[in-house]
Amino acid sequence: MEPRDPRTSRFIQNAMAREMLDAQTEMALTVAWRDHRDEAALHRLITAYGRLAVSVATRFRRYGLPLDDLIQQGNLGLMRAAEKFDPENGARFSTYAAWWIRASMQEYVMRNWSVVRTATNANQKKLFFHLRKTLAKLDDGEVRREALSASVARELDVPEEQVEIMLGRMSGQDLSLNTPQSDGEDGRDWMDTIEDDSVETEAEVLDVLETRRRRKLLYRAVMSLPEREQRIITERHLQDTPRTLAEIGAEMGISKERVRQLEERAMSRITSELRNREAMALSA
């Protein structure tokens, strides 16, 4: 294990020495941040629970990544938790934040454990973080790989073919494409064996640029909306899992029908804004 950076050690000591918040104080701070954007309340909340990021980071060190990077990712998850937490949902912020901290670190580990992206869906993520433990429990040294793959698939409730893929990925090492295929003088690099049939044409490049331009226009149009309409459009159309009219209405204290009306007005404003900007671009 590599020696710890003194700055990281000091950060950990400071984080573990921070105050412990009781439920009442925690509620007051989360409400102050949600309703009034009180940055002092946010700062106190984040610093109080920095110890959670440290605690989770130590458990992820087995993947060989720097502890300070893991802690930083945990703090990003902590900030995300503070942004999304609803103080009135009945849960403690610490419980909610722990989930976001772990999720942030898991994403970081999967991005950096190998130069090849290792896990891209929920099953592969489950395999990545539980495969070794499951193998240790199941493998008695005599089980054939085929039987072991089937056993892991049953144990983790994932498709057997994905177990095979993950076993292959995690059993090998990253290899540079500039590595010679053989020791001979005429040996070619692995790069020489890769063919690229997809030539990026001018039309494809222009399409990418146009898509980026339209996204920027859409972002500006949404940001120009009044706060309530901006929130509704974001929750209804810009999230991976869109919220329902009833859910948004309950949070905002208005009826489902009123949310629908605000959404319709916001979409009309966005459409008008985009048309105006397109017209200005054409006339420029």
User: What CATH class has 6-112?
Assistant: mainly alpha
Task: Find which of 141-150, 172-181, 262-271 is predicted with most confidence, using mean pLDDT.
Answer: 262-271
pLDDT over 90 at 275, yes or no = no
Q: Is 271 in a helix, a strand, or coil?
A: helix
User: Which architecture, in CATH terms, is 203-283?
Assistant: Orthogonal Bundle (1.10)
pTM summary value: 0.45
Task: Tell me how far the alpha carbon of residue 217 is from its chain's centroid.
Answer: 25
Domain-wise residue ranges, the chain: 6-112, 116-171, 203-283
CB 104 within 8 A of CB 73: yes
- The pLDDT score that the predictor gives to residue 179 is 54
Residues contacting residue 108 through CB under 8 Å, at least 6 positions apart: 65, 69, 70, 73
Three-state SS string across 14-61, please?
HHHCCCCCCHHHHHHHHHHHHHHCCHHHHHHHHHHCHHHHHHHHHHCH
CB 46 within 8 A of CB 82: yes
pLDDT over 60 at 258, yes or no = yes
Q: What is the DSSP string of 56-124?
A: HHHHTGGG---HHHHHHHHHHHHHHHHHH--TTSSS-HHHHHHHHHHHHHHHHHHHHSSSS----SHHH
Beta pairing partners, 189? 180
- The pLDDT score that the predictor gives to residue 131 is 59
Higher pLDDT among residues 68 and 62, named by residue: 68
Mean pLDDT of the chain: 76
CB 180 within 8 A of CB 193: no
Higher pLDDT among residues 193 and 204, named by residue: 204
- The pLDDT score that the predictor gives to residue 186 is 54
pLDDT over 80 at 134, yes or no = no
